[in-house]
Structure formats: structure tokens, C-alpha cells
Structure 1
């Protein structure tokens, strides 16, 4: 069992966070050369002189950005890798939409080192020219889609306190701040995204992956591909479960929220998760409604009880034997 420091209440107190280091880097990527493209003249800044832009040349694409925070003192535990969901960036784990401290803060206070990632094609990782390198453009999600698909409000409603689920844990008054986090996403880049995450593991070494939604698939795939580099997976409502053979043995905790029965997508996903847990003894399913915890949305790390959920995850991680 990993060594622990003070329990849930003490860890949630807002004492100063102490770091022994912080920084950032990029991993992975590839170079692509383009030729035969027309040159054009552009003005780069207001009042500037026209510049002849030649798009022919070599481009670095499909790299991934990671920002790290190393807690003081060092705990000796594997570091945490935070992988965000679709249309989001590493900001999802930072300050919550209503201004509370997020999971990054919660786990740093408990002595965990943390690596926040912007997946390939997201945020500070950048994206590739379209259609010259990537053949498809991005998807940008409407606020109404996010509001209902993330189970903050019922299908067919618009954002606002009057349309939210009555028991919702999401801070509805701050939905606009969540909408401000949403960025373009692509739907044909899964292989490149997974390569970026694997490159992070190869650089840092053995890690615990905390992943949300779309990244749940990548976290489980990474654990299946490199069990030597993934100590455990914590998946918050994974968007799907990949096909795995019986050899999957990475300790995996899956958290599921509430209000899933009003949209047919979510019960199907919930059943896939339950089947995943039935087939693999290493998987623990934490269904919050079955524990008497009501109202959690798809955005578990932003909900009003997010620190309590972080404490539960921490407690589960502390039960893992040294490896």
C-alpha cells in the first residue's frame, strides 16, 4: 500500500501548494513536407507591410504538449497524467468554471506529481494544415449540444438554471465558463492522439492515467499496449470501451455519474462499462448514484462535489500495492 499523508478533510483544506519544480515540454510528432502550393501575400499585423507567404516546406505536426507540476516533498509515488475529453484541453483539470480549485490542485495537495496534457490537435499542441496534411476540418460543438450531452440539462433544452436537472451537481450559473473552454476537435486523429500519449509515457516513465470521456479510450488503450508504463487508470465516464483481450490486468477505476436514463446514448455507454468490469477483475466500477451520490454530470471534475470525488479517487489509489 502506498504511504499516505493526512486524510480527506485535511487534504481538502486550502493550504499553500508547494512545488519542487514545474515546467512544460512537447513530445512526439512527425515532419511533413509540402510542395507545389501557391504563394500569397498577407499582412501579419495591423498597419504592417505585406509579407510574401510561401507555404511550401517542412511542417512539424501531431506533437503533444505536457505541463508538469512536481509536488514538494517528493512522495515516491508514480506521477499522475491528466488526459482531457473531446473538444477540451488540460484546462479541464485546473480551476473549475465557477472558480473553485480543480483536480490538479486537489492531487497536488495530496503530494502527487501531475502532468497536464493538451492532446494532439488540441490547445497548445497545435494542429496541421487542412486539407494539405489533415484531410478533414474540425468539429466545433454548440453550447446547447454540450449542455445536454454533458447531462447538465435535459435533451432539447437550452443552457440556464430553469432547464438544468433538479439535482445537478454542475454549477449551472457558470456554464458560460465551461463553454469558453471548448475548442475545435477532429474525429480522424485517434491514432496520432494515442501516439502522443504513448510518447509521454515513454519520456516520463511509469504513470497513473486519469482520463475523462474521449480520453478514457486512450487511457485504456495505453494501459493495454504498455502495461509496463501504466500503473493504473482512473476513467471518468469513458466515451467508449475498446476491444481488449483477456490479458488486460491494469488496475482500473471507472466513475459514472447520474441522470443517464434520459438520453439513449448514456445507458448504452453505461452497459459497456459494466460489461468491461464483469470481464476484467482488475476493473472497479464506482457508480455514484448507487452510492447515494446524486446529480453528477458528465463533467465530474467540475461538479460542486468534485473535491469529494477526488478524495475518493485518492483513497482508491492509496490501496494499490507498490509496483
Structure 2
């Protein structure tokens, strides 16, 4: 979400008076402008209370060794006899002054979002980028190819789609009012009312960006760009959310020695066939085949090898694993394995009230069937209740960040002990 100046740096009364008085030579200007000055001050503090990023009361200002940005990937493409850069990905980084973890975290947003999902919240608190920097991690936050500061070229990327306000209310901020899936009524963590006049909702809607309509094209564009980022900065932790999960797997498959852990925050799913949410009593409607390679539409290193997605066969379970859950599509036996991904620790994180709650278990089962040993943390199981799919933006985002941090500490502890922490 948008970053604004630290609220502690808003000028006090004397500075505001000076600003007004510099415009006029008359000695009575200050008195004449007092009503306007009071109105201006009230407006400023009303706005800052609504949107400025605020650190926790018990934390000092963020201390960085350096920060900056760069682009990875991309090439010159000729469109109408003119050349443009296409395929590039914007990356911004924050390196803590006291770096205590050897591997940086690459944060990849989902869907019609941008990297602002990690750099703040709609109600003005710090995001996961700042949180993990405070824990001693370097953070690299991207804007996906064709979104945000990774410019969009229609002739190369094709048409786009943008979600409307009702879609955002149904899926992210007020799902308890629509109840399109069984767990939706449990939602209570959005930092506002969820109505369209809610300032936090308006910040979220303002941040949303058109997405390339062709989902396979999205994966084809972002996979090589993220591989280029890994090649540039070296071994890293890959955090992917939602739609980004579909190209997180092929990135890790291509660079298994550089991806030290995958943080799959409600990754794109369910495997193979989509599901549509229609509300009670049925809730679920079968969708089309979307993830042709099971967890992605990109080729993966399966064993035995497959020359194309058509060589993979999926069968649907006869019964769901429980009430309020979809029936999973899994590989037909014997299942092809994913040897490159088997080398990488994987965390799948699921929120209690999200539209992923009915089907994230299918992603976990698909990974297990392919030989992985993912850790699946359902937030409700660790006492964190009421979150939606955009948990990194909600009231308890720091608490959820701590769950991720504890898993990383436990999982990568030997690596931290054996690797010298660099300033990367």
C-alpha cells in the first residue's frame, strides 16, 4: 500500500506559520491567515491519522544500511517500428543496518496487486517488508512484469482485466457479508468496516492494478524475471502470494540451489481444475483446467519426465476431506515426482476465513504426492483467527509475520549457523 512520510516529521505550528507568512510581506498576514491555518492543520492531521504508516509503539525508527531499486530481466522489443523494453521486473530492496539472517526474502505479490502489499497497510501501518527488515532480513519487493513500475506494453502483453470494487469486497474485505464459501463468515480482521466509504477499502481499491488477462502469459513473463533476480542476488527465500504461487514453483524448480525456502502464502490453486464460489447451499462449482502441470501452467521437472502437460493425468477424489472443503484433483497413480522441489523447505500458510480455506489442503496433498514434505500452517491452529486472503494487510499482520519468522528460524537454523551473514 502507499508509503507516506513519517507522521513524526509533520511540521509543527511555527513551521506552518512560516510557510504561510513567506507568501506575504504585510505584518498582518499571519493574523489574517490564522483561521485558514487552523483549518489546514485540522485537515492535515485528519488525513495523516487515516493513512500515514505508523510503527509499533515499542519499536524505534527503521534502521537501514541501504535501500534502493533496480530492474531485472527484460529485452528490447520492436513495436510499430519503435523499440521498447519488455519483460523487465522492478525490484526495491531494504538492507537492515543489523543483518542477522544470511538469506534475503524476495516478496512477490499476487493478482491485481503490486509490491505495495508488503510495504504498508491500507490503514497506514508497516507491512511485511519492514517487519522482516526489523527481524534482520534483507527484503526485496517486486512489481510483477507489466504491473506498477514494471511498465505495461499492450502490443506485447495483450489485454488486461481489473477487479471491481464488489469483487474486492466479496473476496478480501467484507466476505462475511456475502458468504460465498463456508468459512467466509469467520472474517473479522479487516482494519475498517469493509464498506466502500471505509478509508482503508478506498486505499486498497486505489492500489489495485490491471492484470494481464492471459494467466499463462503472466507465468511465462514472471518466471524468467524472478530467475534473473535470483541469479543477481544469490541464495534467497522466495515468498509468493496467491497468483504468484503459480510461477513460484517453476522458479524454484529452475534454481533449486538458490531458493532456500518457499513461503507459499495461500498459493494459486486448487491444483489442476479451478473452483468457483456460488454461496449456499452448494458453495462450490467446478471450473476449467487452469494449472495444467498441477500447481502451475509452466513446465516442471517431473520424474518420470513429461514432454507436455497432456502426459499428466488427474483424478478427482470421491469424497472431500471434511465439511466445507472441496474434493481435490490429484495425479493419477503412480504420481510423477518433483525431485528439484523436494530439496527445498516449503511452508504453505492458510487463513481461517479466506476463500483458500476450502482448498489449500489440495495444494498440500498435491505437493506431498509429488514427494515434497511441506509444512502446512493453518493460522486458526496456532490461535490466529478471522483472516482473509490478504492477511498481510489486516490488523494482525505482524502476528502472522511472527508465525512465518518462527518457521524460518526453525527450518533454516543450521544454514544461519553455518553461513556468514553478508551485507547483501
* TM-score, normalised by the number of residues in structure 2: 0.62
Cα shift at 1:76: 4.8
Note closer, same or farther for the CA distance 1:101–1:277 as it changes in structure 2 (3 Å cut). Answer: farther
Q: For residues 12 and 278 of structure 1, what CA distance do their matches in structure 2 show?
A: 45
Name the counterpart of 2:209: 183
The 5 Å alignment of 1:1-323 reads 13-35=58-80, 56-128=81-153, 130=154, 132-134=155-157, 136-150=158-172, 152-154=174-176, 156=178, 165=185, 167-173=187-193, 174-186=200-212, 187=214, 188-240=217-269, 241-242=295-296, 245-247=337-339, 248=341, 249-260=343-354, 267-277=358-368, 279-319=370-410, 320=412, 321-322=414-415
Name the counterpart of 2:8: none
Gaps of 5+ in 2: 1-55, 194-199, 270-294, 303-336, 420-424
Q: Is the 8 A contact 1:201 1:229 kept in 2?
A: yes
Q: Which has the higher helix share?
A: 2
Cα shift at 1:167: 4.1
Q: For residues 318 and 303 of structure 1, what CA distance do their matches in structure 2 show?
A: 23
Cα shift at 1:13: 3.4
User: How much is the aligned-residue C-alpha RMSD, in angstroms?
Assistant: 2.4
Q: For residues 369 and 378 of structure 2, what CA distance do their matches in structure 1 show?
A: 14
SS at match of 2:252: helix
Q: For residues 268 and 103 of structure 1, what CA distance do their matches in structure 2 show?
A: 25
Cα shift at 1:58: 1.2
Q: Which has the larger radius of gyration?
A: 2
State the number of aligned residues. Answer: 282
1:133-188 CA-to-partner distances (Å, cap 9, x unmatched) read 33x3110110111221236414758xxxxxx8464212133222111110010033
1:49-89 CA-to-partner distances (Å, cap 9, x unmatched) read xxxxxxx3211111000001111123251111010011111
Note closer, same or farther for the CA distance 1:140–1:102 as it changes in structure 2 (3 Å cut). Answer: same
Q: For residues 68 and 218 of structure 2, what CA distance do their matches in structure 1 show?
A: 26
Structure 1 moving runs of 4+ over 3 Å: 154-157, 164-167, 277-282
Q: For residues 30 and 12 of structure 1, what CA distance do their matches in structure 2 show?
A: 45
SS at match of 1:194: helix
Q: Is the 8 A contact 2:350 2:357 kept in 1?
A: no
